[in-house]
Structure 1
Amino acid sequence: MHLLKFLAKISTKYEQLYNKGADVPVAITGFNQAPQASSFLGKAGVVLDTLRSSMINLGSRGYGITILAFEVANTIAKGANLLQTLSKENIRFLKEEILHSEGVQQLVSQDVEELLCIAAADKRKEFDVFSREVVRFGNICKDPQWHNLGRFFKRFDSDLIVHRQFREEAERTMQELTTLAQHTSELYHELNALDRSVQHSRRKLEEVESLLLSQRGESLKKLRSEIKHRRIVVRNLKKKSLWSKSMDQVMEKLVDIFILIHQAISEAFGHNGLTVSVNDKMERLGVAGLASHYAKTITQIDDIVFHATSLPPNMRDTLYNGLPSSVKTVLCSWVRRAGYAEELTVPQIKVEMEVTLQWLVPVAKNTIIAHQGIGSIGEWANTGLCKIHIMTRRSFSVPFLFHSKDFGKMTGTHSSLIRLQTLYHADKQKMDMCILELLMLLHRLIGRVRFGDITIKSPTQRG
C-alpha cells in the first residue's frame, strides 16, 4: 500500500503542476533541525567503514543521517555530475564534436547513429547506478512510502513530459542538495583535521608525561585551543550539512532529482540506448578490462618520443615489458620483417608519430583520469578540482570533480568526461594495430638516435 500512497502523491504533484495558479509544493524549501548527532573524533576514512552498520538505524530512521551523510553526498555528486553531462550545451558538444572526433571515429565506429546509441546506453547505466543508490537509501527510511522505490522506478513512464515549473523546482532542489553536499565535504575534511589534532595532542601529552614536564606549556595550550576551535567548526558543519538531516527529509528531494534526470535523458536521446546492440564481434577494451593498461602504454610511448635524445636507460625496457600480450606477440615478427627502404630522420619520424599521438594521447589521458574514480566513500571529498583544463605537453579534458569550495558550481561546456572520450569503447583489434604501428616507428626512432641525428631536434617537440 505504501507504493500506491507514493504514486498517489506523485500524481497529486502533477495535477497541481498543470493546474494554472495552483500552489506547487514540489520541493521542500527547508529542513527541520534534527537532534544534534554525537561527537565524531575517529579518523573519517576508518570510521566510515567500521561504524556504518551500527549507525545505520540511528542515523537514518527518523534521526540525523550522521555517518551515512558521506554516502548520500557521494550519490548527490553523481546525480549532479550526470545532470551536468545532460545539459543542452554538453549534448550539443557530444553530437557535434565528440561523435565526429578522430579518436572516436578511428577506434570505436564511424557510424554516428551507433555512437549515439552507445553514448545513450552509457548515460542510462550511470542513471541506473544513481537510481539503485536512491532505492537503497529509501529502504532505510522511517516512512514506508519510500520503501521499495525500485518498483516505481522500473514502471516510470519514459514518455512522461515534465512540466517546466516542476523542472525549475527540481533544479533549485538540486542546488540545495549540492549546497548540503558541499558542507558535508567540508565536514569530512574538518573531521580528519580534528582527528589529526587530537592524535598529535595525545602524543604530545604522552611525551610530556614521560619527561615529567609541566602540562601548562605553550605548545599544549596551542593544541588544546586548536582542538576546541575545530570542534566548534565540526559542530557547526554538522548542523549545516547532511549529517543532521533525516533520510526521510532528503528522500523526497532525491526522487525529484530522479524525475529530472530521467526527463533530461529522454530529451537528449529519446529511445536511443534502451536496446543498444553493439557489434558483438568487436572486443571493446573497457568490457575486457584493458582500457587502463592500453592507456598507460600509449602515454609511455609518448614519453619516450619526447625524451628520445636523452632516453633514460630503463624507460624503453619498462614499455616493452608492460606491453599487452597480444601486441607483444605480433611485435617480434613485425620487427624481424621490417625493411628500411626509406631512411627517415629523427624529426621526420617524430612528425609521422605525432599524426597519431596528437589525437590518441588525450584519449589515453582521459582514460587514466576516469580510472582514478570518485565513487568510493570519502574519495570524492579529497578531489582538489572542480572544473579545469590541465595544461601539460598536451591539453585534455578532465572530469567534473567537486571540491568543498566549488561543489555547487556547474557552469561551463563539456566539463565532464564520458566513456566515448576514453578508450572504454575502443575496438581492441584497431587499438592493437595502432600501437604496433607506433612501436615500429619508435623502433626506427631509437635506432636513428643511436647511430645518428642525435643533435637534431624535432620541430614538433613539445615543451
Structure 2
Amino acid sequence: MGAESWFHSLWRIPRKHDANSEKLVIGVLAFEIASLMSKVVNLWQSLSDKQIARLREETTDSIGLRKLISDDENFIVRLICVEKLENMAHVAESVARLGKKCSDPIWKGFENAFYEFIAMGVDPYGWEFTGKKMEKNIKKMERFISTNATLYQEMEQSLTRLKTNGESSVLDLIEYQKMVAWKTQEVKHLKDISLWNKTYDYTVHLLARSLFTIYRKISQVFGVQEIVDVIYQKRNEIVDVGGIDNSSVLNSDLIHRSKFSALLQSPPPKTLGAAALALHYANVIIVIEKLAASPHLIGLDARKDLYNMLPRRVTAALRGKLKPYTNTMASSLGYDPSQAEEWTQAMSSLLEWLAPLAHHMIRWQSKRSFEQQSFVSRTNVLLVQTLYFANQEKTEQVITELLVGLNYVWRYGMELNAKALAECGSLRVDNGYPNLNG
C-alpha cells in the first residue's frame, strides 16, 4: 500500500507527420487537445506539496465547511479524493478516444492498461514518469498550450482580415497580400511547433504516461487505501441498486471505461447538490451580502427581486420568523436600535463564513464554463469548498436568519428616515421657512 496521505497524517487533417511516417497527425484537434493538456497540468500542480498544504489549511479553517457539510475530516478528505479521481478519469476517457487513432497498438490499448493499473497497481510498460521527468513534460505541455493559443488567435485574425478586405483599394490590396504571405508563414511556423503537426501516437504517449504519474501521485497524497475505500463505497451504492457482480472490491466492470467517472461524484441525499439548488442558493446569498452591506439603500424593487428568488420552503420559514417583529410594529413599540445593531453584527458574522462558500460556488461554475472556451483553467476551487455538498436544511436556516436580520435592519432604517422627515416637517411654518425661535 502507498504512503500515508497529507490529510491522514472541421478541417481536413493531414495524414503524414514526416517522410518516414504514415501516422495520423492532430490537425485542428490541436485546440481541443491543448485544453485537455491544461487540465492535466492543472491537476498535477494541484497535487504539489505546497497546494496540498494550502488546501488542508483552507478546509481546516473553513467554518462554513464544518457547519454545513461535515466536521468529519475523513469525510472531507474522501470528497476531495473523489473529485481528484473524477477529474483524472474524465481526462483518461478523452485520451482513450484519441488512442483509438494511434498506429501503435500499445497506445490503442491505453484504456485497458490504465484501468488495470488502477485496479492492480501494475505498470507493465513502465509508463510512470519520475518526478523530475514529469516536471519537464509539464513545462512542455505548457508551451504547447501557449503556442496553440497563439495559433488560434492568428488563424482567427487572418479570417477576419479576409472578410474585411473586400472594400480595400488596389494599393491596399497589394500591401494586404504581402501581409497575408507573411502571416501565412507565421501560421505555418506555429503549426510546426504546436500540437497541429504532432502525431496521435506522440500526443497520446505524452498524455497517457502523465496520467499514470498523476494517479500514482494521488495515491501518495491520499493513500491507496483511501482510493480503495472510495471505489468500494461507490461500488456498494451501485450494488444496492442492483446489476453489478459482487465478486471483488475493485470489480473491473465498475472501474472500467466511462463507468469509473460516472459513479464517482454524486452528491449525498439532503444536500444542495442533490436538490440542484447549490448555484441558485449561491446567488441568493451573494445578493443578501450586497444588500446587507448597505441596508439603508435597499429599494422596494430590490426587496421584491430577492423575495422572488426564494424557494417556497424559505419563504414559508421566513413568514413564521417575521411574525414577532410584525406584532411589535402593530403594538407601536417600534424598532429597537440596540437590536438593530445586534442584527447587523449577527449578519456580518454569518456572512463571514457563509459567503465564501457561495463565491466559491460561482467560481467553480465559471471555471467549468471557462474550460469549454479556453485552453487554461485558472482556479483550483473544489466542490467541497462550495455549497454543492452543503446540507439543504441547515443552509436554508442560515439564509432565513439572514433575511430576518436584513428585514429588521431595513425597517429600522425606514423608521428612522420617517421620523427624521416628520421632525423636519415640524420645524416649518406656513411660509415654508424653519421656525428658528422654537
Q: Which TM-score tier does this pair reach, normalised by the shorter chain?
A: 0.7 to 0.9
Q: Which residue of 1 aligns with 2:365?
A: 371
Match of 1:111 among 53, 66, 72: 72
Q: TM-score, normalised by structure 1?
A: 0.70
Deviation of residue 76 (structure 1)? 0.7
Do the aligned partners of residues 240 and 312 (structure 1) sit closer, same or farther apart at CA in structure 2, a change above 3 Å counting? farther
Of the two, which has the highest radius of gyration?
2
Greater alpha carbon shift after TM alignment, 77-86 vs 146-155: 146-155
* Correspondence for 1:42: none
Does residue 1:87 correspond to 2:81, yes or no? no
CA contact (8 A) 1:300 1:319 kept: yes
Amino acid at match of 1:237: L
Match of 1:142 in 2: 103
State how 1:228-377 maps to structure 2 within 5 Å.
Answer: 228-270=181-223, 271-276=225-230, 282-338=269-325, 343-344=336-337, 347-374=341-368
Within the alignment, does 1:70 sit opposite 2:70 as a pair?
no
Q: Please tell me whether the aligned partners of residues 309 and 454 of structure 1 are also in contact (alpha carbons under 8 angstroms).
A: no
C-alpha change, 1:87 and 1:324, in structure 2 (3 Å) is: farther
Q: 1:334 to 1:257 in 2, by over 3 A?
A: same
Pairwise CA distance, 1:281: 6.9
2:35 alignment partner AA: N
Aligned to 2:86: 125
**Aligned counterparts of 1:170 and 1:55: Cα–Cα separation in 2:** 29
| Unaligned 5+ runs, structure 2 | 1-9, 238-266, 421-438
| C-alpha deviation, 1:74, in angstroms | 1.1
What corresponds to 1:184 in structure 2? 148
Change (3 A) 1:353 1:224: farther
Superposition deviation, residue 154 in structure 1: 1.4
Residue-by-residue CA offset, 1:256-282 (whole Å, 9 max, x unaligned): 101110011001101224434599874
* Shift, 1:312, TM fit: 4.5
The question of 1:380 aligning with 2:350 is answered no
Cα distance in 1 between the residues matched to 2:62 and 2:418: 35
Going from structure 1 to structure 2, the CA distance change for 1:229 and 1:367 (only over 3 Å counts) comes to farther
Q: Distance in 1 between matches of 2:307 and 2:101?
A: 51
Assess, with a 3 A threshold, how the Cα gap between structure 1 residues 300 and 169 changes in structure 2: closer, same or farther: same
Deviation, 1:311, is: 2.5
Q: One-letter code of the match for 2:205?
A: E
Equivalence for 1:31? none
CA distance in structure 2 between the aligned counterparts of 1:57 and 1:431, rounded to whole angstroms:
56
Residue aligning to 1:30: none
Q: Measured at CA, do residues 154 and 333 of structure 1 come closer, stay the same or move farther in structure 2, by a change above 3 Å?
A: same
Q: Does 1:420 align with 2:407?
A: no
- Which whole-Å CA distance do the structure 1 matches of 2:109 and 2:127 have between them? 26
Instruction: Name whichever of 301-310 and 58-67 sits farther off.
Output: 58-67
What whole-Å deviation, never above 9, does each CA across 1:168-222 have from its counterpart, x for those lacking one?
Answer: 21221222122112111221222222222222223x35xxxxxxxxx3255x556
Task: Pick closer, same or farther for the CA change 1:97–1:366 going to 2, 3 Å.
Answer: closer
* Ranges in structure 1 where 5+ consecutive residues have no aligned partner: 1-50, 206-214, 384-399, 402-414, 457-463
1:156 matched residue in structure 2: 117
1:241 maps to a residue whose letter is S
Is 2:383–2:389's contact at 8 Å kept on the other side of the alignment? yes
Deviation at 1:228, TM superposition (A): 4.0
Aligned residues of 2:129 and 2:210 also touching (Cα < 8 A): no
Cα deviations by residue, 1:355-409 (Å, 9 ceiling, x for unpaired): 011222222111112112346776124x7xxxxxxxxxxxxxxxx52xxxxxxxx
CA shift at 1:419, angstroms?
1.4
How many angstroms apart in 2 are the aligned matches of 1:72 and 1:132? 13
For the 8 Å contact 1:197–1:226, the answer to whether it is kept is no
**Residues in 1 aligned to 2:298 and 2:181: alpha-carbon distance in whole angstroms:** 54
Query: Number of aligned pairs?
Result: 364
Give how far 1:424 is off: 1.6
- Could you tell me how far apart the structure 2 residues matched to 1:149 and 1:455 are? 76
Please state if 1:448 is matched with 2:412: yes
Offset of 1:417 from its aligned partner?
1.3
Question: 2:130 aligns to what SS in structure 1?
Answer: helix
Measured after TM superposition, the shift of residue 128 of structure 1 is 0.9
TM-score (norm 2): 0.74
Q: 1:422/1:282 Cα in 2 relative to 1: closer, same or farther (>3 Å)?
A: same
Q: SS at the partner of 1:156?
A: helix
Amino acid at match of 1:302: E
Rounded to whole Å, the distance in 2 between the matches of 1:347 and 1:241 is: 61
Which residue pairs with 1:216 in the alignment?
A: 170
Q: Distance in 1 between matches of 2:150 and 2:76?
A: 39
Cα distance in 1 for residues equivalent to 2:14 and 2:280: 38
Partner SS state of residue 381, structure 2? coil
Partners of 1:379 and 1:314 lie apart in 2 by 35
Aligned counterparts of 1:95 and 1:377: Cα–Cα separation in 2: 25
3-state SS of paired residue (1:373): helix
Matches of 2:268 and 2:187 in 1, distance apart?
A: 55
Distance in 2 (CA, whole Å) between partners of 1:424 and 1:126 is 16
Letter in 2 for 1:133: S
CA distance, structure 2, for counterparts of residue 275 and residue 442 of structure 1:
44
Q: Which stretch of the first structure deviates more once superposed, 259-268 or 178-187?
A: 178-187
Q: 2:138 aligns with which of 166, 171, 174?
A: 174
CA distance in 1, matches of 2:128, 2:56: 24
In 2, Cα distance between equivalents of 1:139 and 1:240: 24
Output the CA distance in 2 between the equivalents of 1:247 and 1:55. Answer: 11
1:433 match: 397
- Residue 283 of structure 1 aligns to a residue whose secondary structure is coil
**Which amino acid is 2:163 matched to?**
Q
**SS in structure 1 at match of 2:226:** coil
Higher mean displacement: 258-267 or 56-65: 56-65
**Residues in 2 aligned to 1:171 and 1:196: alpha-carbon distance in whole angstroms:** 38
Q: Take 1:55 and 1:322, find their aligned partners in 2: how far apart are those partners?
A: 49
